[in-house]
């Protein structure tokens, strides 16, 4: 095996998984991470973030031989539980029986991946407190600043994998290249985490194996369970406007918001006022760029290539899928990095753009449509058709979450399904007859004709 100098920028989720995948194949990999080693640092309050892991994520972990290690820290969520303003609950299963997405703490998962990467100590070296400040593309040299000592350093590379996240320094450098397209869009919502403690018995205060949603039209709260009996609640809320972070600031304003919009959370998060005032508010943005490579020696992966808003629960899943597909393409092409970087970048970028669009679409679905009886009926019909004919009709959510269909293909298919279901929902008597064979047959027959 030729000993290339492989450098990975960023020891986040995607960088450390990629290091595991390459290290296991005997490649010497250096990972540069600007932060200190998170295994020795406490995560600040209000920044815990738990992620929904779905099939794409699991498949990549399996490829790295890590799925069984991650399972004990993952809680299955089989359905959505919607909370309305009168404290009523409704439910919507995510998939067929047994299909679930999994709540995992981002911090715990990242620590596990760092330790797994370092297990191949001879092959993988992770250097912390090393911030990449620039990349000399022609000389193939990285400029680095040690965040502790302030010392400048240079490291050469043959292959550079830019997994340095949404504000990637590697991507930043590529932006100076001719014909590099780039867009960064901040959405009108930010987010704030609130921590729901366990009950007196140490157990969860709400049903555990479900993702809780408080859909409120223009905004929403969600809650994902943690193994220690707590929930991480996240409020996705406009920055400006009548109900917004700008207009809800004092205890009275926070109180009024919770009494009117989240009454069932008042008892469950007793210090909601303090948390609302003190926990940080963060922005949300998405990035589309192209190409993801520079010649055959630099490739962007994960958020560096496709930062997205979190509403489909796909950011990490898409990044893990990048790492898996990249490794599989290397295996199939005799580890010809140059060839695979060019091919991967050209195939995958369309999926990166599509998953950004899917995530924005799902925001509207979660915050607004999950409270809409027409939408819930449509989902019930689709579920029935899928159960009757699983190979012919796969709902968009299942394609994205439980299959490996490319995101671009799923997006196009989802738009086609919209056209079919718009017709079906117009049928006279659909509310009474939705579970009749006639309706199922109609969907399947339209499925054959509608383009």
Ligand X SMILES: Cc1cc2nc3c(=O)[nH]c(=O)nc-3n(C[C@H](O)[C@H](O)[C@H](O)COP(=O)(O)OP(=O)(O)OC[C@H]3O[C@@H](n4cnc5c(N)ncnc54)[C@H](O)[C@@H]3O)c2cc1C
Contacts to ligand X by CB under 6 A: 9-15, 32-35, 49, 51-52, 106, 131-132, 163-165, 169, 191, 234, 302-304, 310, 313-317, 319
Torsion sign (Cα): 116, 120, 124, 125: positive
**Hunting for tokens 């600040």 — which residue is that?**
44
450: Cβ contacts below 8 Å, ≥ 6 apart: 416, 419, 420, 423
13 versus 174: smaller Cβ distance to ligand X: 13
Mapped onto helix, strand or coil, the DSSP state of residue 139 is coil
User: Considering the complex, what minimum distance in angstroms separates the CB of residue 201 from ligand X?
Assistant: 28
Could you give the 3-state DSSP secondary structure of residue 320?
helix
Min separation Cβ 309 and ligand X, Å: 8
> What backbone phi and psi angles, to 5 degrees, belong to 208?
-85, -50
Helix 407-425 crosses helix 437-449 at what angle (to 10 degrees)? 130
Strand positions, DSSP E, 20-150: 29-32, 50-53, 75-77, 79-83, 89-93, 101-105, 124-127, 130-136, 141-146
Return d(Cα 269, Cα 283) in angstroms, integer: 23
Q: At what angle do helices 315-332 and 55-63 cross, to 10 degrees?
A: 40
Minimum distance, C-beta of residue 74 to ligand X, in the bound complex (Å): 12
Nearer Cβ to ligand X, position 42 or 449?
42
Of 99 and 336, CB closest to ligand X: 99
Residue 10 or 395 with smaller CB distance to ligand X: 10
Q: Looking at beta carbons only, is 164 or 382 nearer to ligand X?
A: 164
Cβ–Cβ under 8 Å, residues 5 and 157: yes
Q: How many CB atoms lie within 10 A of CB 172?
A: 17
By C-beta, is 233 or 424 nearer to ligand X?
A: 233
Pick between residue 294 and residue 393 the one whose CB is nearest to ligand X. Answer: 294
- The residue among 215 and 315 lying less far from ligand X, judged by its C-beta, is 315
- What residue number has its CB nearest to ligand X? 12
Instruction: Rank residues 13 and 443 by Cβ distance to ligand X and give the closer one.
Output: 13
Nearer to ligand X by C-beta: 66 or 169? 169
Q: Minimum CB separation from ligand X for residue 223, in Å?
A: 12
Residue 303: Cβ-neighbour burial (10 angstroms; 0-12, 13-18, 19+)? buried
Beta bridge mates, 192? 235, 281
Nearer to ligand X, 55 or 164 (CB): 164
Minimum CB distance to ligand X, residue 120 (Å): 19
> To the nearest whole angstrom, how small is the minimum distance from the Cβ of residue 32 to ligand X?
5
Rounded to a whole number of angstroms, the minimum distance from the CB of residue 240 to ligand X is 20
Q: What residue ranges in 211-280 does DSSP mark as E strands?
A: 211-215, 220-225, 231-238
Question: Cβ of residue 264: shortest distance to ligand X, in angstroms?
Answer: 22
Cβ 421 to ligand X shortest distance, Å: 26
Name the nearest CA neighbour of 12 among 394, 233, 305, 229. 305
Count CA atoms within 13 Å of residue 348 on its CB side: 26
| Separation CA 363–CA 309 (nearest Å) | 9
Q: How far is the CB of 316 from ligand X (least distance, A)?
A: 3
Closest approach of ligand X to the CB of residue 381, in Å: 27
Report the DSSP beta bridge partners of residue 91.
81
Handedness of CA 262, 264, 267, 268 (dihedral sign): negative
DSSP 3-state assignment of 245?
Answer: coil
Residue 35 or 380: the one with the smaller Cβ distance to ligand X is 35
**Shortest gap between Cβ of 61 and ligand X (angstroms)?**
12
DSSP state of 142: E
């Amino acid at each position: 095996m030729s000993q290339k100098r492989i450098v990975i920028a960023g020891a986040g989720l995607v960088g450390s998984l990629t290091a595991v995948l390459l290290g296991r194949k005997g490649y010497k990999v250096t990972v540069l991470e600007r932060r200190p080693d998170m295994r020795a640092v406490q995560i600040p309050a209000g920044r815990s973030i738990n992620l929904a892991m779905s099939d794409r994520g699991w498949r990549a972990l399996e490829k790295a031989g890590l799925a069984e290690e991650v399972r004990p820290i993952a809680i299955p969520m089989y359905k959505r539980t919607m909370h309305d303003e009168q404290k009523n609950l409704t439910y919507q299963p995510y998939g067929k029986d047994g299909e679930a997405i999994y709540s995992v703490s981002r911090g715990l998962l990242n620590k596990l991946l760092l330790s797994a990467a370092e297990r191949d100590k001879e092959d993988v070296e992770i250097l912390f407190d090393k911030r990449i400040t620039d990349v000399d593309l022609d000389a193939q040299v990285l400029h680095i600043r040690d965040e502790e000592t302030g010392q400048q350093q240079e490291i050469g590379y043959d292959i550079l994998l830019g997994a340095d996240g949404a504000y990637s320094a590697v991507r930043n450098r590529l932006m100076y290249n001719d014909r590099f397209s780039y867009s960064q869009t901040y959405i009108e919502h930010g987010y704030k985490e609130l921590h729901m403690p366990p009950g007196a018995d140490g157990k969860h205060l709400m049903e555990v194996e479900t993702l809780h949603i408080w859909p409120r039209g223009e905004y929403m709260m969600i809650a994902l369970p943690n193994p220690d009996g707590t929930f991480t609640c996240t409020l996705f809320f406009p920055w400006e406007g009548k109900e917004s972070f700008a207009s809800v600031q004092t205890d009275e304003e926070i109180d009024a918001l919770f009494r009117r919009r989240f009454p069932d959370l008042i008892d469950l998060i007793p210090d909601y006022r303090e948390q609302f005032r003190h926990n940080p508010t963060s922005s949300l943005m998405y990035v589309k760029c192209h190409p993801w490579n520079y010649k055959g020696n630099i490739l962007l992966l994960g958020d560096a290539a496709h930062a997205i808003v979190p509403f489909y629960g796909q950011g990490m899943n898409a990044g893990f899928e990048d790492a898996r597909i990249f490794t599989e393409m290397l295996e199939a092409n005799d580890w010809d990095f140059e060839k695979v970087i060019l091919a991967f970048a050209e195939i995958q970028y369309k999926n990166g753009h599509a998953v950004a669009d899917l995530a924005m679409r799902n925001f509207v679905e979660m915050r607004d449509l999950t409270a809409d009886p027409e939408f819930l009926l449509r989902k019930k019909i689709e579920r029935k058709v899928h159960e009757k004919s699983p190979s012919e009709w796969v709902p968009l959510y299942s394609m994205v979450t439980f299959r490996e269909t490319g995101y671009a293909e799923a997006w196009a298919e989802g738009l086609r399904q919209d056209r079919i279901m718009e017709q079906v929902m117009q049928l006279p008597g659909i509310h009474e007859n939705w579970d009749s064979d006639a309706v199922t047959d109609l969907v399947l027959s339209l499925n054959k004709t509608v383009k």
